[in-house]
Amino acid sequence: MQETHSTNFPKAVRITEVGLRDGLQMESAFVPTATKIRLLNALIDAGVRHFEASSFVSPRAVPQMRDAAEVLAGITRRADVTLGVLAPNRRGIERALEAQADEIVVFLSASESHNQKNLNRSVAESLQDMRDAASLVRGTGVKLKGAIAVAFGCPFEGNVPLAQIEAIATQFAELGFDAITLGDTTGMATPALVRSTVQRLRARLPQMPLALHFHNTRGIGLVNVMEGLALGITDYESSLAGIGGCPFAPGASGNICTEDTVNLMNELGIATGIDLARLTAVALDLEQVLGRTLPGQVMRAGPRLRVHSLASQAAAVG
């Protein structure tokens, strides 16, 4: 493990695994419930302690998530593990509460056009849904997180004014939400955008915990993580083997990869509590389940100091 090169970096971070929600929602072939449970339990054994384990959405819209309640019921529950779920509306929240989720994530988009595509509602209507969510969850002991999609750019509108993001985040804070996730839904984030957005929200809402959710669409997902670390952000969302994307946004390829993110943190001397070797084994298991090569890089190359047998390597001739 290497010591961090910046004393400004946090000593530890929390990584929320979203692969079995954000990742699998893009898969057309249904992954059996028992397989999802096996993968989630293996991730817990690898040290992952925070999840978006599934979503309570319309089975017609996202059929892969139709077994959300069964998945939560089948996981080996632990007091130190937070099983979060995504829920877009009152019915979804009610189902999540019935399934005894530890955290409910409600979401909307920062742009009108993406919100219409993603939720078939205006931003104003979605904000009313947030008020309903707060009233449903308040007093249950379940944590409530608000997620802002396309926070770093919209595939239909381009740049999203910071004032729009600030206005939505302020509504979340006024409603008593526990945290806010800034979602880079189509990989449009840049370090400069990350810095300006985080600084704007911190100036307005200094006590609100922020999480960052990046995609690697344009190859700079971990560069944006480095910017987040420099800003002192300690909560990141990532996806096993780098799978995922948004089914309602063009060009939304996979999330930043959990193994690659953990490897980066290890090299910076930042604690995650996750065993990289065990995590990589789960990623390779997922690759077998899905039957294709997945985007993760550390799962293929191994950590930096993995050594190989000299005798097994062919030598150059001539």
**In the chain, where do the E strands start and end?**
14-17, 50-55, 82-86, 103-109, 143-149, 179-183, 210-213, 235-238
The number of residues in the chain equals: 318
Question: Measuring CA to CA, which residue among 10, 4, 18 is closest to residue 237?
Answer: 18
Buried b (16+ CB within 10 A) or exposed e, 171-191: bbbebebebbbbbbbbbbbbb
Contact of 198 with 214, CB cutoff 8 Å: no
If you count DSSP H runs as helices and E runs as strands, how many of each does the chain have, helices first? 11, 8
**Per-residue DSSP letter, 256:** P
Nearest-angstrom CA–CA distance, 46 and 18: 15
Structure tokens, 159? 């740049």
Structure tokens, 121? 């509602």
**In 123-185, where do the E strands start and end?**
143-149, 179-183
Nearest-angstrom CA–CA distance, 25 and 35: 15
Residues forming the active site: 246
